[in-house]
Each structure stands twice: as structure tokens, then as C-alpha cells.
Structure 1
């Protein structure tokens, strides 16, 4: 695959993991990324771009992206957003604003696609904040998106979300959570502080992307667990009410991470959805 931007191997060991430098908002940021290919397949067809959760990174997906590649026969791009993994951390005085997910969807991801020559329609697969970013990108750039899979996305701020994030912030300060997360981020305080800081900011309570959901026209599969501790099922149900081509999957015995709690069901659903909605050349 042709790469338009210079790249180098990421500073942490990882097979096929690289870093690319992107211009963003008047500065240069490095983004860690990894290509995956399906076992026993040619990987032809649209690339699946994975967008991680609010505390995620390439490494935190573990083997789920590879399992999706193998099930669908498609290649994948997995990357860590700025502030996460081994991408450029937040600056010391940087505080995210309520439009932080819009910036990722409308600015960072398009720059990454240009740098890596991903101009053809892509599949988007996002979890939590990454699911919201996938929705925003698909709504803004429908001609270059084949479809989207949203795992436990957010379209509004609920009390349950704030309560659970406040508990996570307390655990980060008082338990071994910080140490556990540090395995996945070069600067763990950058990752956690950016995420918890904006979600717990009173100014974020009015954040809502239902208008953007109404502009969603690509095939979309929204998946959520009935026991999600970070949001009610109203999150994906509102996407279905507003979007034009949205299928829902509500999973029992499943919390905020469907790809971990019900991995087999999710992989089968993703495979069937992508096969059903594969564009004909």
C-alpha cells in the first residue's frame, strides 16, 4: 500500500506498528498505527478503521481487530488517537473542549486518511467515544465511508455516564487502575486526564450529537449491552430513530464493552453486516 507520509517504527515494540506525523491545529502530532491483514485471505475490499474508547489505544483492543479481519476477510487500520498509546501526549496545559470528538472525526481522522492514502470508502468500527467519532466522521463524509459499526456509542450525556466516570476517576486516584492503564499508554495521565477532565466538566453536560445522527446515511450497525454501566440503551435507540439505515443489536449479559463481554456474537454480527452491505464494484 502506498504511504504518502514519512513513517517510522513506533517507540514501543509491536509487530507492524508505526508512527506517522500529522499537522493538526498549528502543530505537529505523531499518531501510532498498525496495519492488520486477514489470515488466509487476500484482504481485498474496503479497509476497516478501528477507533478506540476513551481510555483505549492500539494495545487495548488486544486481538479483537485481528479476529474481525479474519472473520470478514478485510484488512484493518488500528490507531491510537493523540494523547493515547504511543501517540503524542496532551500538552501540559491542554484541556479538551466539548467539541473534542468532532475535532477527532473532522480533523485528525481525515489527516490520517490522507497521509496513509485511504481515500477509497472505508468501514468504521468504533467503541464508546470511538463509536461517537465514527458516527461523526460517517455523517460528515458519507461518500468515503462504506458503513459504520458503533459499539456502545454516546450521542448524549446521561447521569449514568457521569456517575461511572466519577467512580473511575476515584479509582484512578486511589487504586491500582493507574498502574494497569500505564501498560497501554506512554503518558497515562495524558490519556486519563483528557478523557475524565472533559466528561466531568459541567460544560460538557449539554453535549449532544443527535443532529449529526440525523445526517447519518451510510449503513450502520449500533451494538450495546443491556448492562452498560456508561449509558442506557436510549443511546443507540436514538441513533436508530434519527439515522436512515441503522440496525440495532442489544446484547444481554453485556456491559460497556460488547467486543469483550460478547465477542463471538459481536464478530458474527459484524461479519454478517459487512457482507450484507458490501458495495458492488
Structure 2
């Protein structure tokens, strides 16, 4: 896939609890235009705008659509989160930050693309704002709390106790890094979160769905995309990627972008 030609714009948007950092990638060095529904990217539990790396620019160039990504409150360049995450944090995104970003940018119709827990947030946004959601793409999304997911989180938590590991997070989240790590591990490992699922939201969807998953994903089995597909009947496609782990957009960038382009066509 050729190197993308694109234009980027960074913004900071007010929210009730602090500013949100937003980046827009536009194809072909154009200023942002939302005549066509843009992609809106939802990052994972340790993620942020910067950690999407060159995927958004390639996606914009290949599809000809703008791409919007933002750091959730507490992550990346956004302001600190005011407290602990509630067990409803996945669904809260559709009611709080996401509408603020869309309103500020003047975006009506959108394509939701979410990675890992961001896939759950993208699903909530697609269901809550279904009259404006053109399509939903989930990547490595958890549809329920699986033993494999919890095992992966426990192993990651232990790994972050090693020297230098929290410093890796600080590169992207600054002094918010410890909060970011604890928000992920302690929320998901809490007994109070054990019965969380996307079932109700998936059943409310009214758009085509592409569920991408790596067969070697250490944080979830193929049951997750299959569950999403089962609940949305013939409006869903499942792409199970061979020899791929939890981050298909980084491990198999070109294949993911090609699959998204084919899906939208």
C-alpha cells in the first residue's frame, strides 16, 4: 500500500470535566470536510491518539474519508479523569464525550471503528446514535467478560510491575499513566464487572457490522466476533485473521484497511 498523502489537524475540546484532545486526518492534504461520513476511532484501554500511529492516515488515504480520533478523558493529551471509572464506563462514552466531539466538529453521520474496549464504546455509540451511524467496525472487541480476557489482563498487570514498564505508558499518558493502568486492570478484574456484556447494544444496532479479530488474540477468543455476528444476523461480517494477535491494525495494517474498504463498498 503506497505512503498516504494527508492533512492533519489537532484540536482541544471542552468537556464538563476537562479538555479532550482530538486529531483529524483528511485525505490528499485537504482541510477537514465531513460531506462523507468520517471514521471515528475509539482507542483501547491503554491507548490514545498517538498509539494509532500511521493507521488513520492510511485509512483516510485509501477510503477517501476523513478520520477522527480523540483521547478519552484521562488518556493521552486529554486532561486527567476526575476519579475512578464506573462499571458503566463503556456505555457512558456514547452519552458524554462522543456527542461533544461530534457537535464541536459539526459531524452528523459517522462510521464507528473501535479497538478492544473501544470496540464496545463504538458499539454503544452506533446503537445510541443509530440514525446517524453508517457502519460499525469492531476490532478485537470484547463482547462479554471471558476467562481468557481476565487471564490476559492478570498477566499484563504482572508484567507492568517490572522495571521500566510503567515508564513506557508515561511516554504517551504522562503522569496519568498509573491511573490509565489501574483503570484498565482494576475495573475489568473487579467482581462487580463480571456480568458486563454488549448483548443489549448489539441487538439495537441498525447498521452493517464488520467484526475483525485475530485468531491469536490473548485478550479474547473468536467467541467475541461470533457473538456480535449472531446477534445482528445477516448484517454482520466476521473477519478472523490468521497469525494475528490483539492489534490487527498494527500487525496486519494493509489487510485491515483493504477489508474495511471492501466492507464499505
TM-score under structure 1 length normalisation: 0.86
C-alpha separation between the residues in 2 aligned to 1:40 and 1:57?
A: 23
CA contact (8 A) 1:31 1:87 kept: yes
Q: In the aligned structure 2, how far is the partner of 1:176 from the partner of 1:161?
A: 24
Q: CA deviation at 1:40?
A: 6.4
1:155-206 deviation line (CA, Å, top 9, x unaligned): 1001111111111111112232211121111321121121112011111111
Give the match for residue 91 of structure 2: 102
Structure 2 vs 1, CA of residues 114 and 40 (structure 1 numbering), >3 Å: closer, same or farther?
closer
Matches of 2:27 and 2:230, distance apart in 1:
34
SS in 1 for 2:27: coil
CA-CA distance at 1:144 after TM superposition = 1.1
Structure 1 runs not aligned, ≥5 long: 1-14, 277-281
Q: 234, 238, 255: which is aligned to 1:248?
A: 238
Equivalent of 2:248, from 240, 258, 267? 258
Deviations 1:74-110 (A, max 9, x none): 111111011100112123xx22121110111222211
Q: Give deviations 1:1-28, integer Å, cap 9, x for gaps.
A: xxxxxxxxxxxxxx632211112xxxx3
Aligned pairs for 1:192-207 (under 5 A) are 192-207=181-196
Deviation at 1:135, TM superposition (A): 0.7
The answer to whether the 8 Å contact 1:162/1:200 transfers is yes
Q: Tell me which moved more, 98-107 or 233-242.
A: 98-107
2:10 aligned with 1:21, yes or no? no
Map of 1:117 onto structure 2: 106
Q: Give 1:66 deviation, angstroms.
A: 0.6
Contact 1:149 1:220 in 2 (8 A): yes
Q: CA deviation at 1:41?
A: 7.0
Which residue in the other structure is 1:273 paired with?
Answer: 263
1:87 to 74, 78, 85: 78
Q: In structure 1, what is the equivalent of residue 225 of structure 2?
A: 236
Contact 1:95 1:197 in 2 (8 A): no
| TM-score (normalizing by structure 2) | 0.91
**Aligned-residue RMSD, C-alpha:** 1.5
1:45 aligns with 2:33: no
